[in-house]
Each structure stands twice: as structure tokens, then as C-alpha cells.
Amino acid sequence: MADADHFDKLKQSIIDQDEDQVLAAVNAALDDGVEAKAIIDQGLLPGLNVIGEQFECEDIFLPELMQAALAFQAAMVILEPKIKEQGAAGEKKGKIVLGTVKGDLHSIGKNILKLLYETSGFEVWDLGIDVDLFQFVDKAKEVDADIIAMSALLTTTLVGQRDVIEALKDQGQRDNFKVIIGGGATTKEWADTIGADGWAASAYEAVTLSAKLVS
Amino acid sequence: MRFVELLSEAEVRRTHEASLEVLETVGILAHFAPAREVFKKHGCTVDDETGLVRFPAAVVEKYRKMAPPSFTFRGRDPQYDRTIPDDGPIVVTGSSAPNVVDPVTGVERRATSTDIANIAHLINELPGFDVFSISTLADDAPEGQFSLSRFYPALKNCLKPVRSNTPNMDDLRQVVELGELIAGGKEAYAQRPIINHHYCPMVSPLTMDVDSTEAVMWLTERGLPVYTTVVPNAGLTSPMTLMGTLVVGNAEFLAITVFQQMVKEGTPVIYASLPTVADMRTGAYAPGAIETGILLAAQAQLAHFYGVPSGGYIGLTNAHSNDAQSGFETGMNTVLGVTAGATLLNMGGLFSSLMAFDFAKAVVDNEIALMDKRAYRGLEFSEENLALDEIAAVGPGGSYMSRKHTKSRMKTTAVLPRLAARDMRQQWEDAGRPTIDDRALAEARRILAQPNEAVWDGELDAKIREHFAGLVAGDATPLEG
């Protein structure tokens, strides 16, 4: 099969949100000697772009977007080691430290965001739920993060987002990181009040926002 | 009145069994170690490494039967005490929104303790509301007084039962201290605990958190009133079927109920919930969707099976103004709830799926609440109400208008709305085409322009302010503009 046919198949399998089909297409391409980086850049990512467009105009729904992203992630498990072998480490768009703030155990939205970040080429350190403010700050310093992304679903835990920004200021670190917030309890106005660099209404928008912030 | 039943008796039983199966085979993740100890001590299988708790069916059956059939909310003035199901349906404001729609500018902004004082005054006066669940947060709270800045203005300005949550144990202890000061001592407070606590310790799916679980355990040990709400969200935290969501929510209700009975036998509970189906186009939260009403109605049926009162956050809306969506979401869902026998409606005053309080929305919801209460009364079947003598006395072709029988019942048979238009179109045009929002806001202004008789005396206030230095003022003020 010609490379172009492989790329079509890879792209289509992502659009079909079919993990088995994606893995089969990846293996077939590798067997034919297509390079791992080309499989991603010319096959899988164009598929994800179509998925993104379909999601934006509600042709597909969130579970379909998630399945496509999960299929992509499964392919990356095979492809990433090969890229490393070839020394052609994929360029990451940026480093994200992600978590749900102190007192809040809600993880589902945050996990959706993590998946979308990873499929969009960001490197993510997920601190999980109920994250203390200093965990955010320390991890961001440790990995030299570009963005700290904080979620809160409960209105009573919102202040945790402000606390992180205040702690960054106290340590003279505020300008070293972009801080974005999201989650059911947050609003754009809250983001402005606490001096965050951005707010997103959904995981999908958070990725677009992050790409803008690091570019 | 006979309640609407969405499930057959066999289906209710099967749903219960399915929930037992989930608790026994899937289990609950309990993050709070002392809670795991309670479960272990009372016959559950606990894996301390993973935090997973499995419940033998017999254990669940034994403890859930200890839950009593009623729950009482107490207010500063005992005439406002309400016990469900007998005094139901009782109507409660929605709670803990971070924002308020400014009644003067119409712009959404962070809520303050002064807003809470005003809302408390308003809810105290609106007859449809029974319990004031503190509608907003207080952005002006001094350091270390996050919850005090909510409970103090609420209790100061409202004689009806006040209900809310606290984010941590320090805040909880502070709030109970406030209650004891108001009651005139620890013992008096134990007799009449006037703060009604509420938490969501169950995080769907099938998880118990740390902070809220600790609060529920502490309050239950002390016999102070506390109830919990389960919040499954189909497609995200529960299966994409209403039945699967019912099962997850029911298993969660059973787990927390059994927990409270293990801590203290005979602890009153409410089967309270906020079940939703996530909007799968975006994942958006949709508490105003009709599926919430359907699920809450089914839960009322399960609660009846368990012999406990039920209800929850029903009648919330995703709408951002007093438009048709706001009305149909609140109205349709609460009607589904009350006709199924739910006696707790957490419905009043919030827009944007619990994000902002609106004074006019609270007044509109007061009117919806009065209609819900009327719907719950149903037809009031009795021989007397068949009015056969009256039908015979008036006869064919007569009129009932000038009859004593009519006069003595004209204020109780039907709801007399203050907001709903009953005039002719020309009258409405002449009045400048007022919207429901205009009429409701005018009513809120009228109420808040009156002095608030509910405020406690200066001596008590001085005592409280001396005890908690730096407390917010907590006074209601007339709405400007």
C-alpha cells in the first residue's frame, strides 16, 4: 500500500472513533515501513482535526470526541517508543500542571481535559484531585511548566484557585506561569477577579485557550 | 392523594435489589479513614489499601431500616418548624451560588454578606418558602469567617429554618457555636438545634469524600440535624440510562444512610438528590432538564419503599434570566416531583445551573412553590367537598358567585397569584407591558423596603459580635433604584 493510502486509512479510523481499526492501521503502516512521526502527523492528527471540527458544529457529541481521543492515545502507546528510538522526539506544545483544587474531589471534567491536552500535543502533569496549593506551585516550578490549570466544581472550593495565584505572587513566581481555571463553579468574571490568565467553559475550549497562551 | 408511580411494585423491588448488588459487588470508595472504621465495625468488608468498602446485603437491610420516617427543620421561631413528609411539600431556596444578579444594575457580580441579609429578609416574607438555604457565598468574608459570614446574616434576618453547608471542620464548629449563642447555651441548643446542616459526601460514582463525610459523622454523633444529597450525572458519573442512574444514586443513598445509622441508630435522613443527564453534545450540566424531574419522581417512590421522606434539588434552571426556559424548567420539574410525593423542593432563586441568585427569580419561584403546594393538595376528596347540597340549592341555570359556600372557600380552593397575569391585554398594554421579571422585581423591592421584624434584639447581637471579632454587619438594606 502506498503511504498516502495508509494516511487515508489512519485518518479515517480516527474519524470512525474505532480503537481496533486505529491500531490495525498503525501496525499495517509500520509494517510497510512508514515512519512513526509521519503516521502521527499525516494520518492521525488530520483525523483528530476533522473530529474537532465535527465536535464544534455538534455533528458529533462529547463521548465520540472522547473515543477518538482514546483511540489516538492507544496508538501513541505504540508510536511514542519508536519516535524516541529514532531520536525524533515529538515537539510538545507546552507543559501543563493540572489538578482539582483543595477540598474538591471532582475529577471527570479534569480527566477529559487531560486527555484532550495529551491528544493535542501538550505534556501534562496531573496532580489529581484535592490538590493543595503548594503542590501546584512546587510541581510547576519543578517541571518548569508553561501553564497551571485548575478545576473546581464546588462553589465552596473556588477560593483554592485564588490561593494558588496569591501564593505565586508571594513567591515572586506569578510571571513565570500562565494560570487558567475552569470547572462548573467558575466564571470568566471569577477568573478576572482573581487575576487568572484565562478561563474556559469546557475542556475543549481550555485546549484552544492554552494553545493561544503558549504560542 | 394518590401519588404518581412511574415504577411498578416489582420494579421498585428490583431496583432496590440491583442497588444492593452494586453495594455488595462493586462497593463504595471511602476516602475518610474513620468512616472506613465505622463500616468495618458494623459488618462491611473494607480494603484499607484501596479504600474500597463492600456491603453485604443483610448489613444494608439491617441499618437502612433504622432510618426514621420523618425529618424536622427548626427555625429561630418554632412556629416555622417544618417536619416532612407531614408538613410537605416544603420549599427551600437553592444554595451556595457564588454570584448574585445585582438588583439595581442587572449585572451578575460576586455575592456579599449584605446580599445574604437581603435574601434572608425576602425569604422570611415570601409565604411559599419554608426553609432558607443560604443562597450565596459571601465574597466579603473576613479571613477565617467564610461560613460565619453566611450563617450570621442569614440567621439574623430570618425566622424560618436556615440550612447550609461548611467547607471544613473549623467552620462547622464556629457555625454551631453561633447557634449555641443564639439559643442561649449548649443545652438549649441541643434541645432546639436551629441550624440545619446539609452536605454532599457522596461524590458520584460511588465515592465518599473526606471533608463532608467528616462533617456528617461529627454532626450525626452529636444528634444535630444533617442530611445529604446524592448527585449522579448520567453519561459522566452514572450510566446513560435513567434506570442505571437511579441505581447508582440509590446505592449512594443507601451507603450514606447506612453509614449514618451505624454512627447513630435512628438518625433522621432525607432521600435527597440532584439527578441529572449530562448534555452529551458538550458535557454541559443540565439540572433543569426534564430527566431530573423523572428521576426525582422515581426516587420519591423508592423513598416511600424505604419509609423515609424525599426530595432534593428540583426546579433548578440553566436559564440566565426570568424567561420562558426559567419558568418551564422550574415548573415542570417541581410538578413531577410533588405529584410523585416528593416533600422537599430545593428550588428557589437561582439561575445558570446554581451559579447566580436573582431576587426576581426568587419571587417567581415563590409563586411556583404556592402552585406546587396546591398541586400536592390535589382534589381533597370528601363527601362535603362533593357539594351536593350546594348543587341542589343553586339548581340548573343558577350562579355560584354570590353564595356563602363560595365566599367561605374562595381564598383556599385556588392559588391567588400575585405575578401571573389575569388581566386583559389592553390593561397590560396600558401598564407598560410589564414582564414577569418587572413584576417580580417590584415585589422584591416592596418587601425589602419594609422594616425586617425578624432581626434579633440588640443584646443578643452585641453578644455575638463580641464573641466573633470582626464579623460582617449582616444587615438587610432596601434595594436601590
Q: Are residues A128 and A197 in the same domain?
A: yes
Give the residue from chain B lying closest to A159, CA to CA: B139
Q: Is A128 in CB contact (< 8 Å) with chain B? A: no
The proportion of chain B whose per-residue pLDDT surpasses 90, expressed as a percent, equals 98
Among A85, A108, A129, identify where a domain stops: A85
Q: Is B239 in CB contact (< 8 Å) with chain A? A: no
Q: Are residues A11 and A61 in the same domain?
A: yes
Distance CA B134, CA B166 (A): 11
Q: Is A202 in CB contact (< 8 Å) with chain B? A: yes
Predicted pLDDT of residue A109: 85
Q: CA-CA distances (angstroms) from residue B180 to B76, B186, B191, B263, B289?
A: 12, 5, 10, 23, 40
Q: Are residues A54 and A121 in the same domain?
A: no
Predicted pLDDT of residue A185: 85
Helix (H) or strand (E) holding B83: strand B82-84
Cross-chain CB nearest to B167 (options A157, A187, A190): A157
CB contact under 8 A, A156 and B108: no
Among A50, A85, A120, identify where a domain stops: A85
Predicted pLDDT of residue B378: 95
Three-class DSSP category at B92 = strand
- Residue closest to B281 by CA, chosen among A12, A204, A208, A185: A204
Task: For residue range B324-342, list pLDDT tens digits in order.
Answer: 999 999 999 999 999 999 9
The proportion of chain B whose per-residue pLDDT surpasses 70, expressed as a percent, equals 100
Which residues of chain A are within 8 Å of residue B283 when distances are taken between CB atoms? 62, 109, 112, 202-203
Position with higher pLDDT, A108 vs B235? B235
Which residues of chain A are within 8 Å of residue B237 when distances are taken between CB atoms? 108
Whether residue B444 contacts residue B122, with contact meaning beta carbons closer than 8 Å, is answered with yes
Q: Residue ranges of chain A with pLDDT lower than 50?
A: none
Helix A62-85 / helix A45-56 crossing angle, nearest 10 deg: 160
Q: Are residues A70 and A114 in the same domain?
A: no
Structural domain harbouring A77: 3-85
Q: Are residues A8 and A106 in the same domain?
A: no
Q: Are residues A32 and A81 in the same domain?
A: yes
Among B278-282, B308-312, B382-386, where is mean pLDDT lowest? B278-282
CATH number of the CATH domain containing A139: 3.40.50.280
CB contact under 8 A, B283 and A193: no
pLDDT surpasses 80 at B323: yes
Which residues of chain B are within 8 Å of residue A58 when distances are taken between CB atoms? 281
Q: Which residue has the cell 350546594?
A: B390
Q: Are residues A50 and A115 in the same domain?
A: no
CB contact under 8 A, A202 and B283: yes
Distance CA B130, CA B373 (A): 11
Tally helices (H) and strands (E) across chain A.
Answer: 10, 5
pLDDT surpasses 70 at B178: yes
Q: Are residues A118 and A203 in the same domain?
A: yes
Predicted pLDDT of residue A90: 61
Among A61, A85, A109, identify where a domain stops: A85
Predicted pLDDT of residue B141: 96
Tally helices (H) and strands (E) across chain B.
Answer: 18, 21
Q: Are strands B52-54 and B28-30 parallel, antiparallel or unpaired?
A: antiparallel
Q: How many folded domains does chain A comprise?
A: 2
- Residue closest to A69 by CA, chosen among A21, A28, A117: A117
Task: For residue range B109-137, list pLDDT tens digits in order.
Answer: 999 999 999 999 999 999 999 999 999 99
Task: Indicate the Cα dihedral angle B221, B223, B226, B231, nearest 10°.
Answer: 40
Tell me, letter by letter, the H, E, C secondary structure of A163-213. HHHHHHHHCCCHHHCEEEEECCCCCHHHHHHHCCCEECCCHHHHHHHHHHH
CATH number of the CATH domain containing A57: 1.10.1240.10
Three-class DSSP category at B180 = helix
Q: What is the mean pLDDT of chain B?
A: 96
Task: For residue range B448-472, list pLDDT tens digits in order.
Answer: 999 999 999 999 999 999 999 999 9
Predicted pLDDT of residue B444: 96
Distance CA B368, CA B120 (A): 19
Q: Are residues A80 and A16 in the same domain?
A: yes
Residue B481 confidence class, pLDDT cut points 50, 70, 90:
low
> How many Cβ pairs closer than 8 A exist between chain A and B?
58
Distance CA B427, CA A21 (A): 67
Predicted pLDDT of residue A80: 85
Q: Are residues A163 and A185 in the same domain?
A: yes
Q: Are residues A124 and A67 in the same domain?
A: no
CB contact under 8 A, B353 and A63: no
Whether residue B251 contacts residue B23, with contact meaning beta carbons closer than 8 Å, is answered with yes
The single-letter code of the amino acid at B137 is: L
Whether residue B140 contacts residue B112, with contact meaning beta carbons closer than 8 Å, is answered with yes
Predicted pLDDT of residue A14: 96
CB contact under 8 A, A185 and B355: yes
Which residues of chain B are within 8 Å of residue A108 when distances are taken between CB atoms? 236-237
Positions of E strands within B366-479: none
Whether residue B247 contacts residue B253, with contact meaning beta carbons closer than 8 Å, is answered with no
CB contact under 8 A, A202 and B282: yes
Q: Are residues A66 and A164 in the same domain?
A: no
Predicted pLDDT of residue A84: 79
How many C-beta atoms surround the C-beta of residue A172 within 10 A?
Answer: 8
